Amino acid sequence: MHRALPENHGTLFLKQVCGAWYACFSCKSEAAPLPQSDKAIGIDVGLGSFAVLSDGTKIENPRFYRTAQVRLRKAQRRVSRRKKGSHRRRKAVFILRKIHEHITNQRKDFQHKLSFEIIQQYGTIAVEALNVKGLAGGMLAKSVHDAGWAGLLQMLAYKAESAGRQLIPVNPRGTSQTCVCGASVPKKLSDREHLCTGNGLVANRDYVSAQVILQRARTVPSNANVGEVMPCVV
């Protein structure tokens, strides 16, 4: 045990993952608000970079699944070559499951560390209210699953509630097709540069999208900035 249990703990759940047993206690704990912060940030998630913040910070996409694909392919071939029901096949399946578990743990560790850092720094956090399940059903399904946006958003939600931070989901419609000045700037998915003909702003599209997300969090309704004239941040 890496820390003591609270005095009042409830049900104990036991689960087995790849041969290892885990004991999970359900406990009631009080919220632990952090010192107040007036800093606000908008977060635009993507596939090129995992996320770009409205202050220009770029978070690289670790691509844990893509990195492990060679190992997974070898392990899968080993399983397919083994006779069904044999001890050697069970052993090969176990090795394959361990690789998948390692990828899952890597992704969760990355999400926990990133969400913790964001919650510590910012009092207001604006994110897109994405339908991740819908996005994961198309041609980019593998990349969307590998990125793990849903896990990060879920962690941000419960950590913000516990820390007394404000997490604001905004309408994602058109965030990458709109300039911070309110002008419409249509782009294809392959267009990585934002060029606004209205005010001449040239910047990375994800950086501008993060600023638009933060703008929408500060207006009601969430898409009120579209068509309005707002100061442009270069």
pLDDT per residue rounded down to tens, the chain (234 residues):
777 877 778 888 999 888 889 888 888 878 889 999 999 999 999 888 899 999 989 999 999 999 999 999 999 999 999 999 999 999 999 999 999 999 999 999 999 999 999 999 999 999 998 888 777 776 778 888 888 898 999 999 999 999 999 999 998 888 888 888 888 888 887 888 888 887 888 888 889 999 999 999 986 444 444 433 333 333
15 falls within a domain: no
33 falls within a domain: no
109 falls within a domain: yes
Annotation marks residue 128 as catalytic: yes
Query: Could you give the CA distance from residue 110 to residue 29 in angstroms, rounded to a whole number?
Result: 25
Residue ranges making up the domain that contains 94: 39-217
54 falls within a domain: yes
Q: How many folded domains does the chain comprise? A: 1
Annotation marks residue 38 as catalytic: no
160 falls within a domain: yes
34 falls within a domain: no
pTM: 0.83
**Residue of 101, 191, 206, 228 marked catalytic:** 206
222 falls within a domain: no
111 falls within a domain: yes
**Residue of 30, 128, 161, 228 marked catalytic:** 128
> Closest Cα to residue 204, out of 193, 212, 191?
193
**Residue of 7, 38, 44, 161 marked catalytic:** 44
